[in-house]
Amino acid sequence: MRLRAFLIVLFGAAALAGALGGCATMAGGGAPMDFRVAKVDDGRCSGHCPDVIAARGQIGVDTADRFVAFLKDASADKALRDVVLIDSPGGKVVGAMRLGMAFRKLGAAVVVARVAGGGTDAVAGPGLCMSACAYAFMGGVKRVVPSHSLVGIHRMSRVEYEAGGSAGAAVVAQRVYATPDMVAALTSYARSMGVGEGLVKLAETVPPANIHIVTPDEERRWRLATSKF
């Protein structure tokens, strides 16, 4: 009953969170992902809302390790449920896969949502899960993208910088794309998480400077998520 009450709160709050255009400021910038316990309550839980995990920020190579450390510290909270609310602009792909595997090992349900406020005043609203975050999201045993939340994908790449050969020469930036082996590894990872490999194939067709917002139809087609718990 506690989880059901939490979900009622989440989707009720999402409906009140405002226009979709405001989501652009909700991804947490470049700050590293942090984790905290939140009790999302809009007054309808009658004091029985569960504690959930709010994850927000950029995913790095060590994010999964910090998540595991957080769980150890939070293990004394008997009200804590295996529900993660994630809001992220992306980050390192390998770090995202490691975080996704940590979610799967925990048996967590993952919901794209942003938590504002703290204590008993926390409110859940629309969130963003962009770029590499989509691969962390795949780790949820149950994956939910509520109305107004967004998942975005594009081609994997990184920018490498190289100084010119002579003194005072300009620094040259070069974009490097994932190798076929890396794409194959991502496809295998998605498949192991129960997500259709077509999602990875589509992502690899989208230029890094762009973002493809995954539609509800695509979420269903590739078994990425549902809109309700």
Q: Which of 91-105, 173-187, 188-202 is predicted with the least confidence, judged by mean pLDDT? A: 173-187
| Distance in angstroms (rounded) separating the CA atoms of residues 38 and 80 | 9
| pLDDT for the residue 175 | 80
75 or 46, higher pLDDT: 75
Q: Is the pLDDT of residue 13 over 80?
A: no
Mean pLDDT score of the chain: 82
Find where tokens 């190579």 sit: 61
Q: Is the pLDDT of residue 29 over 70?
A: no
Q: DSSP alpha helices (H): ranges in 28-147?
A: 63-74, 93-106, 133-137
| Distance in angstroms (rounded) separating the CA atoms of residues 4 and 2 | 5
pTM > 0.85: no
| Distance in angstroms (rounded) separating the CA atoms of residues 220 and 229 | 13
| pLDDT for the residue 78 | 80
Q: Is the pLDDT of residue 134 over 90?
A: yes
| Distance in angstroms (rounded) separating the CA atoms of residues 35 and 67 | 7
**3 state DSSP class of 25:** helix
Q: Which two tokens stand for residue 96?
A: 């995202």
| Interior angle at CA 122, CA 137 and CA 55, nearest 5 | 25
Out of 12-26, 73-87, 164-178, give the one with best mean pLDDT: 73-87
Cα atoms found within 13 Å of the Cα of residue 76, Cβ hemisphere only: 1
Query: Percent of the chain, pLDDT > 90?
Result: 57
Q: DSSP alpha helices (H): ranges in the chain?
A: 2-15, 63-74, 93-106, 133-137, 180-192, 198-203, 216-221
204 or 20, higher pLDDT: 204
Q: Please name the amino acid found at residue 150.
A: L
pLDDT digits (tens, 9 = 90+) for 185-203: 999 999 999 999 999 999 9
Q: Average pLDDT, stretch 67-94? A: 91
Q: What domains are defined for the chain?
A: 2-153+209-221 (3.90.226)
